[in-house]
Amino acid sequence: MSDAAAPAASAAPAEDLQAKLNVDDKPAAAAEAPAEAPHPSGLSLDERFALARSVAEECISDEELRALLAKKPLPVAYDGFEPSGRMHIAQGVMKAINVNKLTKAGCHFKFWVADWFAQLNNKMGGDLKKIQTVGKYMVEVWKAVGMDLSKVEFLSSSEEINKRPDEYWTLVMDIARKNNLKRIIRCSQIMGRAETDDLSAAQIFYPCMQCADIFFLKADICQLGMDQRKVNMLAREYCDDIKRKLKPIILSHRMMPGLLEGQEKMSKSDPNSAIFMEDTEAEVNTKIKKAYCPPKVTAGNPCVEYVKYIVLPWFGHFEVRRPAEHGGDKKYMSAEELVADYEEGNLHPGDLKAGLSRHLNAILQPVRDHFENNAEAKELLKKVKSYKVTK
């Protein structure tokens, strides 16, 4: 980018210009470091890096991310999702938080609406029309919850691949040719499958396609969950195979646990394991009331996780309301403060749950209103709720 503050060379007499170029009369230590060029976001490189890095539990790698942000004004970040049923709060709210952070940091975000992938993975019974309906519903959720869509693009995998099939399938075949079956099966976690599952041929093909997506979409950053790490690493390994220097940077966000004891991950097939984006206020209250929340224990406590990774990033605080004899009202400004109080027994599970329900309902109310008042969105939700969720 050009520096508007720099004076034109022709504006100064030749002798003045020569004097400015003559550094003999100044010690070398006095020379000023070049100023950082302003970014369109208005943020410094340090601020943009911190913002982008904050979305991820793991980054591969920090050095590459910083270099990308320094060199490329508008990096491309991507996430792909299978339209496979109602959207839970981690996919709805956490993804909105992460996308808004990345676009604020100067990224263009591409959402890969993976309809063909959902069909390959037998979601919605493999019915492509139902899958595409679910995809439209999911976009409506993100619109309603407050995702900044000014730098966001939703791309349908079936449509985009059919526009450039020669480019896409050449990539897929090359990735498949350069990897053995064992390495591809190791990626089965990305589909919610285990390596020991009886996989269909379509599900073995799936990881090669997802790896190809990254290059097809010209993504600089893969911003997916930790459960997608293996295929993102496959893409970096493929770069080594083809001698490509610039590898996709992996920003893997945390996976939220289910609400019940022992549930490592939310499940769309178990309605009690998660808060869904259009759940009623009563449904949210009931689910949180039943949620696993052992006193003085924060490890593996889904209620504490919800506060740390959903409520605090959204509101910037978490407020507990209680009678004076039970400690009175308190506003937590950081996760560390909340965790310390909870582990010391200064915050009771009942008070934590009541505050959590209140905050979650405040986040979800605009979504409920949208699906109640917008006729098209209301019809989409009605159809999605009527579909049977298949694994």
User: Residues 6 or more apart from 165 whose CB is under 8 A from it?
Assistant: none
Residues 316 and 244 in one domain: no
Q: What letter represents residue 100's amino acid?
A: N
pLDDT of residue 337: 97
pLDDT of residue 265: 77
Task: Assess if residue 198 is contained within a domain.
Answer: yes
pLDDT of residue 263: 86
Exposure class string for 180-216: b at 16+ Cβ within 10 A, else e: eeeebbbbbbbbbbeeeeebeebbbbbbbbbbbbbbb
Please say whether the beta carbons of 219 and 239 come within 8 A. no
Task: Assess if residue 32 is contained within a domain.
Answer: no
pLDDT of residue 195: 54
Q: What letter represents residue 298's amino acid?
A: T
User: Residues 6 or more apart from 256 whose CB is under 8 A from it?
Assistant: 89, 90, 94, 265, 266, 302, 305, 306, 309, 310
pLDDT of residue 7: 34
Q: How far apart are CA 218 and CA 55, in angstroms?
A: 21
- Judged by DSSP in three states, 276 sits in strand
Task: Assess if residue 96 is contained within a domain.
Answer: yes
Question: Residue 211 belongs to a domain with what CATH number?
Answer: 3.40.50.620
Question: Residue 323 belongs to a domain with what CATH number?
Answer: 1.10.240.10
Residues 210 and 322 in one domain: no
- Judged by DSSP in three states, 148 sits in coil
Task: Assess if residue 90 is contained within a domain.
Answer: yes
Please say whether the beta carbons of 345 and 295 come within 8 A. yes
pLDDT of residue 53: 97
How many residues would you count in the chain? 391
Task: Assess if residue 31 is contained within a domain.
Answer: no
Q: Spell out the per-residue pLDDT of the chain, length 391, in tens.
A: 444 444 333 333 334 433 333 333 333 343 444 556 678 888 999 999 999 999 999 999 999 999 999 999 999 999 999 998 899 999 999 999 999 999 999 999 999 999 999 998 889 999 999 999 999 999 999 999 999 999 999 999 999 999 999 999 999 999 999 998 888 888 876 656 555 666 777 778 889 999 999 999 999 999 999 999 999 999 999 999 999 999 999 999 999 999 999 888 777 667 888 999 999 999 999 999 999 999 999 999 999 999 999 999 999 999 999 999 888 999 999 999 999 999 999 999 999 999 999 999 999 999 999 999 999 999 999 999 998 777 6
Per the structure, how many domains does the chain have?
2
pLDDT of residue 313: 95
Residues 158 and 306 in one domain: no
The parent domain of residue 315 ranges over 281-386
The rounded radius of gyration (Å) of the Cα atoms in the chain is 25
Q: Where are the alpha helices (H) located in the chain, listed in sequence order?
A: 14-21, 45-53, 62-71, 89, 95-104, 115-120, 128-145, 157-163, 165-177, 181-185, 201-216, 229-241, 281-290, 302-306, 312-315, 335-343, 349-373, 375-386
